[in-house]
Structure 1
């Protein structure tokens, strides 16, 4: 069974929000990656360099709260599109099965493929409007 974690999107205040969540849940950030840290071919405008590309905070019970700032090129975050569910399957095969099942009748926003951070990753919106991310990382197993 894959791990299921909430993924929160923000308009330029991810770091502030996650420092708040850290004060509530405790613990330390497992990862903080900024847009300036990604390969050039994926980068946007220089003024987005210090925005948070990905942050994760392990919370009680084995869950992980994750989030990012949304670059201008991806539109504005509004209530309703600011939460996604992230699945962490245990194999590429399971990742494909889950992704294909969830995207059936819905919309693929990023097909499953090898991502620059080393994972096999894809994003979709199911037929009910729920946004999903599927991230298989063989190195975290």
Structure 2
């Protein structure tokens, strides 16, 4: 079955927050990437240098859970308290990802449909009909 992890969104201080969490929980970041590390195409948002240096994604294993996070940027809009936490579901197949995404997003706002990503995952995001933010991810090429 899918793994469930908390995903925190920040307004520019994600790196500071995760360095703090790391100082408390210990461990290492298996991944930390900035918006400037993303491939750029004609649909990419135009980001200032400050925004390009914000965290696109970071993960910190804590026991059997992975605390994940990122910063918002101007194109995505500022994050308001209460909408800065998502539940991230990591599935075992594309079919499971589609089933969970379609089921939970019914009646909600599927603002990022399931699609292949540059980081090698099949991924989508939505807000369910109760206002809860979700991310669904299937790693097509999981790290060994």
Band the TM-score falls in, shorter-chain normalisation: over 0.9
Aligned to 2:109: 107
Aligned to 1:8: 8
Shift of 1:76: 0.9
Cα offsets for 1:59-86 (capped at 9, x unmatched): 11x2100000101111111111100010
Report the TM-score, using the length of structure 1 for normalisation.
Answer: 0.95
SS at match of 2:24: helix
Shift of 1:138: 2.1
In the alignment of these two chains, the number of paired residues is: 140
Cα offsets for 1:78-105 (capped at 9, x unmatched): 1111000100000000000000001011
1: CA distance, partners of 2:130 / 2:110: 13
Superposition CA RMSD, Å: 1.1
Tell me if the contact between 1:35 and 1:43 (Cα under 8 Å) persists in the aligned partners: no
Aligned to 1:67: 69
Shift of 1:46: 3.5
Report the TM-score, using the length of structure 2 for normalisation.
Answer: 0.93
Which structure shows the bigger proportion of residues in helix conformation? 1
> Which moved further from structure 2: 4-13 or 40-49?
40-49
Question: What residue ranges of structure 2 are gaps of 5+ in the alignment?
Answer: none
Aligned to 1:54: 57
Shift of 1:44: 2.9
